[in-house]
Amino acid sequence: MSDDEVRDAKNGPPREGSLDAPFRHPIAWRDDDYYDLAKVEAEMERQFDVCHTCRRCFNLCDSFPRLFDVIDESPTGELDSVPKSAYARVDEACTLCDMCFLTKCPYVPPHAFDIDIPHLIVRYRAAKRREGERDFVREQLGMTDRNGKLAKPVAGLANSISARKNTPLRKLLEAIAQIDANVELPKYSSKSATDRLKSPLAPNPAGPAFGRRKVALYATCFVDYNEPDTAVAAARVLALQGVEVKLVYPECCGMPQLEAGNLADVAGRAGRVAGIFQPLIEDGYDVVALTASCGLMMKFEWPLIEPQNKAVAALSAATKDICEYVVDLQKSFGLAAGLTPVEGGITLHHACHARAQNMGAKSAEMLRLIPETRVELVERCSGHGGTFGVMKETAPVARKVGRPTARQIAAKGTDTLCSDCPLACKHLGQLLVAETADAAHAAPRQAHPIEIFARAYGAV
């Protein structure tokens, strides 16, 4: 019996419209077949042909328009006359946002068509990587812990060199490393989140969750080295609720390595990080992630890469996004008094990797707990996608995808912009200036939602 027949026997006739809860298959990265490029391209042809006959995903990103254009321009107007080399262009535009799998495709498992384009792209990248096709600069940028440790002692100098207004050096960097000279790059901090939260904050004994909750904050590489204020804000908000908090940051979650198809590296990180969190979980700590991409990795990607690792499964079950966790505290115990209105209103960009966690718009739900504060929600891709939004070759596509989102944000007219993804927030802030004639009103204050919440408490 073929694989399709086995699926049909198990699931019954295919049904349209995602009537059943979707699921994902474990990633078989240890199997040699996983890296067989001919087999990978055959599977791409199979799945792309389903996409071609459906086309619901045409407006999500640039990958699908590229696919449909190359099919429509082919001699037969079908996938059979599209050269396999064209698949690389589809791959290039994929940021692994997961929106096609989560929000558009009616053919994801358990449907017999078994469509999962993001994980198919990961497999394609892994196969190409094994054949020796690697992007040196992107892989160096993805070594976030090394880069953060090197930049920390010379943060001022590093930030000056990388500043967008430093045109000569940015042009030189673009020529040497192909990093787009017009992109605002993240700044480094001379004092990391780990430095600033060496000593746990004393929980508020009058807090509604006092004695009931303990949290291990997973700082994430970006928060630790680039935005430590996010960790401080989260710790102070949780401490106000009476929660016992400690910051834990063993190493990066490996999202950049997943994007590069380096699955063995991601598996190693998952095992090591889960091993460090295991005794904390056994001691009753909840795990809270401070950026959306890292929460997605810990909750969903790691268990698919290491499905037999019990520590990884336990970490997945124990992990919550910071905004998700605050909302849970409010529903379980109520919140400490003291929230005050945020003047001028807030526009929240609901990042794709927060949406992909399938938990709802928890950041918006949290911000709406602030009294007398207008909270606007924008659910559309920023286009950034990590290194995708930085490299000269792909940054124009990131801007193209992000412009409609920036226009939606501009139309909201609020004084504060925040996002579950700090890179998306920075990217959209820059696009707002470019897309809005009145620059004075085009660059609202930018922060993580938990920082806005902490400000409403007067905690930062």
Instruction: Give tens-digit pLDDT for 435-447.
Output: 765 555 556 778 8
Give the pair of three-digit tokens for residue 431.
């696009």
Instruction: Give tens-digit pLDDT for 157-198.
Output: 999 999 999 999 999 999 999 999 999 999 999 999 999 999
Cα separation of 270 and 56, whole Å?
34
Average pLDDT on 237-245 reads 98
User: ∠ at Cα 447 (248, 197), nearest 5°?
Assistant: 25
Cα separation of 285 and 294, whole Å?
18
Average pLDDT on 405-420 reads 93
Quote the pLDDT of residue 386. 85
**Residues 412, 376 contacting (CB under 8 angstroms):** yes
Q: Give residue 277's identity as a one-letter amino acid code.
A: F
Residues 6+ apart with CB under 8 A from 317: none
Quote the pLDDT of residue 314. 98
Let me know if 383 is exposed, middle or buried by CB neighbors in 10 A (0-12, 13-18, 19+): buried
Q: What are phi and psi of 395, to 5 degrees?
A: -55, -40
Instruction: Give tens-digit pLDDT for 327-352.
Output: 999 999 999 999 999 999 999 999 99
Strand pairing class (214-218; 346-349): unpaired
| Chain mean pLDDT for the chain | 92
Instruction: Give tens-digit pLDDT for 379-395.
Output: 998 988 888 999 999 99
Asked whether residue 18 carries a pLDDT value surpassing 90, the answer given is no
Cα separation of 246 and 288, whole Å?
10
Give the pair of three-digit tokens for residue 165.
């207004």
Give the whole-number percent of the chain exceeding pLDDT 70.
Answer: 94
CA nearest neighbour of 452 among 326, 333, 357: 326
Residues 126, 132, 137, 140, CA torsion sign:
positive
Cα separation of 356 and 100, whole Å?
10
| HEC per residue, the chain | CCHHHHHHHHHCCCCCCCCCCCCCCCCCCCCHHHHCHHHHHHHHHHHHHHHHHHCCCCCCCCHHHHHHHHHHCCCCCCHHHCCHHHHHHHHHCCCCCCHHHHHHCCCCCCCCCCCCHHHHHHHHHHHHHHCCCCCHHHHHHCCHHHHHHHHHHHHHHHHHHHCCCCHHHHHHHHHHHCECCCCCCCCCCCCCHHHHCCCCCCCCCCCCCCCCCEEEEECCHHHHHCCHHHHHHHHHHHHHCCCEEEEECCCCCCHHHHHCCCHHHHHHHHHHHHHHHHHHHHCCCEEEECCHHHHHHHHHHHHHHCCCCHHHHHHHHHEEEHHHHHHHHHHHHCCCCCCCCCCCCEEEECCHHHHCCCCCCHHHHHHCCCCCCCEEEECCCCCCCHHHHCECCCHHHHHHHHHHHHHHHHHHCCCEEEECCHHHHHHHHHHHHHHCCCHHHCCCEEECHHHHHHHHHCCC
Cα separation of 56 and 53, whole Å?
9
Distance (Å) of CA 417 to CA 145, 240, 436, 446: 27, 24, 15, 5
pLDDT level of residue 5 (50, 70, 90 thresholds) = very low
pTM score, two decimals? 0.92
